[in-house]
Structure 1
Amino acid sequence: MSTKIVIIVGIVFILIAILSSIKRSSSSRLVSTKIGIPAGIIGVLMMIYGSYSSDLVGYNSQMEQVSIGKKLKIDGPVNAVKVVSPIDKDSVDCRILTMGVYPESHQKDVWVIIRPTDDRYYPQSDHTNTSYKRDGEWQVVTRFGGDKGEVYDLIIYEADSTASSFFSSTIAEWKEEDVYPGLQLEEMPSGAKEVERLVIYTKKNCRGVF
């Protein structure tokens, strides 16, 4: 059962409990207290469960577990979008912060896409969707969900507004349906340009973590 359905059912049970507290003129109640009290307890428990299973709470609890991979030292001026962490051939945790730099004149959005062994493409985001950019640096939370030692391509894209909107709406649709099928190469928007690709390995079993 999805989180939204759990919350909706919880609200219904609470409404039943409220109705059980209302007396009609004949002193009889709209709903028997034998039904209302258990319904209220179940409703509150379902609301609590639904709240703690929501994206917001899950996001905050997982944020505490974000790790950072090995860092690349950048010398000299930055002339292009570049990954600083993780580095190529790095072994990483299930949830990491992918970080990089960009030149001062750079205007496009930066997207991190991972391609696991299923040969599909998964745009990565936190609640801002696009990578966070400020003062020449960018970062985005990146999640891996495969077996220990599984190989991933970690691909960095520059995206125009159309491509960025496509990635954002795709992620929103996946979250709504709670299904993450990935994108095939031919589904990738033309306004997204690959600028860097790394090979990354998971150093622990991440299957079923997210």
Structure 2
Amino acid sequence: MSTKLIIISVGILLVVIAILGNRTGSSDKGFLGSKLVMFFGIIGVLMVMYGSYSSELVNFNTQMEQVSIGNKLKVSGPVDVVKVVSPIAQDSVDCRILTMGVYPKGHTKDIWVVIRPTDDRYYPQSDHTNTSYKRDGEWQVVTRFGGDKGEAYDLIIYEANAAASSFFSTTIANWKEKDEYPGLQLEEMPAGAKELERLVIYTSKNCRGVF
């Protein structure tokens, strides 16, 4: 259960306690004093409002998410492999960027961007489609960083079969539901994901706590 749901649940519980504590019996007096009833009621309502508001705010920020674009690699001639065109190796990037690339004609597998920060764990990236958007020989996906300024990241491109793609999508969905993003260890990476390209980039600012 996410932190937001816990806050809302506790808030509802406090409101219910306040309502029950204010009920009178044969003695015409509730089992909670009026001050406790008011305290539980106010705290409960505030917690429900805060939990609901923070959830709506997160959804609003997601819908309004802005991304930047790093330096771009010039590609000429026919494309015969899946390749990153932005950002480029050793680039310094914003906290939230659009990773873009190209793919050859007839390529049918899903393309995934996975970042590996200094904690040595792997974080598959996605936007609302959960896979990189592909069209007319080009692909792109929103990529998010959460480390310190100047932290090094491996930006890794994978092509994935249906099973591997489903694993990444399910993993991200579970992380979002729990509001926890522990990353994957190397041995947890699905066998159906094949690494195609890896480059090192750096964050240009402090990105901790941004997402």
User: Which TM class, normalised by the smaller chain length?
Assistant: 0.7 to 0.9
Deviates most, 190-199 or 11-20? 11-20
Q: Percent of pairs identical after alignment?
A: 72
Paired residues, number: 209
Deviates most, 108-117 or 58-67? 58-67
What residue is the counterpart of 1:71 in the other structure? Answer: 72
What residue is the counterpart of 1:61 in the other structure? Answer: 61
**Secondary structure of the equivalent of 2:194?**
strand
Give, in whole Å, the separation in 2 of the partners of 1:88 and 1:59. Answer: 32
Unaligned runs of 5+ in 1: none
Unaligned runs of 5+ in 2: none
What residue is the counterpart of 2:114 in the other structure? Answer: 113
Matched, 1:49 2:50: yes
Deviates most, 182-191 or 172-181? 172-181
Deviates most, 114-123 or 167-176? 167-176
**Secondary structure of the equivalent of 1:53?**
helix
**Secondary structure of the equivalent of 2:72?**
coil
Matched, 1:209 2:210: yes
State the Cα distance separating 1:19 from its structure 2 match. 7.1
What residue is the counterpart of 1:158 in the other structure? Answer: 159
Q: Which amino acid in structure 1 is aligned with residue 181 of structure 2?
A: Y
Post-superposition Cα deviations, 1:61-91, rounded to whole Å, max 9, x if no partner, equal 2553422111222223322222121111110
* Residues 137 and 53 of structure 1, relative CA distance in 2, 3 Å threshold: farther
TM-score when normalising by structure 1: 0.80
State the Cα distance separating 1:146 from its structure 2 match. 1.6
Give, in whole Å, the separation in 1 of the partners of 2:184 and 2:10. Answer: 33
Q: Within 5 Å, which residues of 2 pair with 1:1-210?
A: 2-13=3-14, 41-54=42-55, 57-58=57-58, 60-61=60-61, 63-210=64-211
Give, in whole Å, the separation in 2 of the partners of 1:194 and 1:79. Answer: 16
CA RMSD of aligned residues (A): 3.0
TM-score when normalising by structure 2: 0.80
* Residues 103 and 65 of structure 1, relative CA distance in 2, 3 Å threshold: same
Deviates most, 119-128 or 153-162? 119-128
